[in-house]
């Protein structure tokens, strides 16, 4: 069982600490690479990019271009994707009251994977074709699962929705596998996308940014209501909280966050399970603190995971999804064992 939330005065301290960790991880992400730059030079250069600030970093124009055109957008995309996935995971866990729920529960991953596969094998190879197709596929997969779950009526509740997500995921994954058999020459591109990549550049960052702002805003606004839902629907209704509407809005916002993240990064697993669980263990179970800390912690986690992916086999690069699997799979087993012992 997770700890209760601490006093409200402690929340700013947790957020400030998390932001400090995120800042350090982003500096580390900017430092990682073949070019030799000191941390102080990187900090000065980052300060120079701020409005109304002028700082001489001592970097050459080539090094400045490397930072701005390659490393900075990569770090920012990793931060946004990690924050979205972790926050979406926390939202799903609040709705389903299950610490093992993750952002891909309702078919978003399978829908995105199928749509991206079609885009790779059938559409012209452009910078926008795969992200747009993946976003549409993720949204379509969630809508299909939600529609299928509703056909069982209200009596099934969240359990029916989960079963619908499992069915949709299995069906869409089967179609994706079928398509791949006819385009064997494209398997490398398909699997490269599936294993995750945050190196899409500024285009990818600006593509995901508006959806990230909308989804994060909706989820943060519903933190208190998720706290009320955690005591049960009947109690929530008696306190004036429309449980069904809150659950729907949170599911839509979390699904939007997942779809946006998947569209620009591929399928990066375990972020939505690992980060919210760590946050609950450290800061308590109130969603008013779990949601913002999950967003910040997820951003830091994925920036560091991408740094490992870029450097551990340098000059080769490891898919970022492989790094998160190495971290997440043992952690998932640990969460499963703890959940079984506590009965939550």
Residues 84, 88, 89, 91: is their CA dihedral positive or negative? Answer: positive
How many whole angstroms separate alpha carbon 202 and alpha carbon 70? 9
Chain centre to alpha carbon of residue 54: 34
Pair 297, 278: CB distance under 8 Å: yes
Q: Where do the structural domains in the chain lie, given as residue ranges?
A: 11-29+38-60+71-94+102-342
Closest CA to 217 of 83, 103, 82, 72: 83
The per-residue pLDDT for 101 is 85
Runs of H (alpha helix) within the chain: 11-31, 39-48, 61-66, 72-96, 108-122, 129-150, 157-180, 187-194, 202-221, 223-229, 233-238, 243-265, 271-283, 287-311, 320-342
How many whole angstroms separate alpha carbon 3 and alpha carbon 58? 48
Return the CATH fold of 11-29+38-60+71-94+102-342.
ABC transporter involved in vitamin B12 uptake, BtuC (1.10.3470)
Pair 136, 115: CB distance under 8 Å: yes
DSSP sequence for 31-59: H-SSS---HHHHHHHHHHTSTT-------
The per-residue pLDDT for 213 is 95
| Sole residue written with tokens 């690479």 | 33
Strand, coil or helix: 183: coil
Report the first-to-last Cα separation within the chain, whole angstroms: 6
- 238-251 burial string, b = 16+ CB within 10 Å, else e? eeebebeebbebbb
Q: Which residues of the chain have pLDDT under 50?
A: 1-7
- Classify residue 113 by burial, with Cβ atoms within 10 Å: 0-12, 13-18, 19+: buried
DSSP sequence for 61-99: HHHHHHIIIIIHHHHHHHHHHHHHHHHHHHHHHHHHT-T
In terms of phi and psi (left: phi > 0; alpha: psi -120 to 50; beta: otherwise), the region of 318 is beta
Helices 72-96 and 243-265, axial angle in degrees (round to 10) = 150
Chain centre to alpha carbon of residue 230: 23
Closest CA to 140 of 277, 26, 21, 259: 259
Cis peptide before 315 (omega within 30 of 0): yes
Residues 260, 167, 222, 230: is their CA dihedral positive or negative? Answer: negative
CB atoms within 10 A of CB 217: 11
The per-residue pLDDT for 8 is 52
């Amino acid at each position: 069982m997770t700890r209760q939330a601490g006093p409200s005065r402690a929340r700013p301290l947790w957020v400030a600490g998390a932001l400090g960790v995120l800042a350090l991880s982003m500096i580390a992400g900017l430092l990682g690479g073949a070019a030799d730059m000191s941390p102080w030079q990187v900090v000065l250069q980052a300060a120079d990019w701020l409005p109304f600030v002028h700082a001489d970093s001592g970097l050459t124009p080539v090094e400045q271009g490397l930072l701005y055109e390659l490393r900075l957008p990569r770090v920012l995309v990793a931060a946004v994707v990690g924050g979205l996935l972790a926050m979406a995971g926390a939202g799903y866990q609040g709705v389903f009251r299950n610490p093992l729920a993750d952002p891909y529960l309702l078919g978003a991953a399978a829908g995105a994977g199928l749509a991206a596969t079609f885009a790779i094998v059938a559409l012209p190879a452009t910078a926008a074709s795969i992200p747009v197709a993946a976003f549409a596929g993720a949204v379509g997969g969630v809508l299909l699962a939600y529609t299928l779950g509703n056909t069982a009526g209200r009596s099934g509740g969240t359990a029916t929705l989960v079963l619908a997500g499992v069915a949709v995921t299995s069906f869409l994954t089967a179609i994706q596998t079928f398509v791949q058999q006819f385009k064997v020459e494209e398997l490398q591109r398909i699997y490269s996308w599936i294993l995750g990549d945050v190196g899409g550049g500024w285009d990818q960052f600006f593509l995901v940014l508006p959806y990230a702002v909308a989804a994060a805003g909706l989820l943060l606004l519903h933190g208190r209501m998720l706290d009320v839902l955690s005591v049960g629907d009947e109690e929530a209704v008696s306190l004036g909280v429309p449980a069904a509407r809150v659950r729907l809005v949170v599911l839509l916002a979390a699904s939007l966050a997942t779809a946006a993240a998947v569209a620009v990064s591929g399928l990066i697993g375990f972020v939505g399970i690992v980060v919210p669980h760590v946050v609950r263990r450290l800061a308590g179970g109130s969603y008013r603190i779990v949601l913002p800390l999950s967003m910040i912690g997820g951003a830091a986690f994925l920036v560091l995971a991408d740094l490992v992916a870029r450097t551990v086999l340098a000059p080769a690069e490891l898919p970022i999804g492989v790094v998160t699997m190495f971290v997440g799979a043992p952690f998932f087993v640990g969460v499963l064992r703890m959940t079984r012992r506590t009965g939550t």
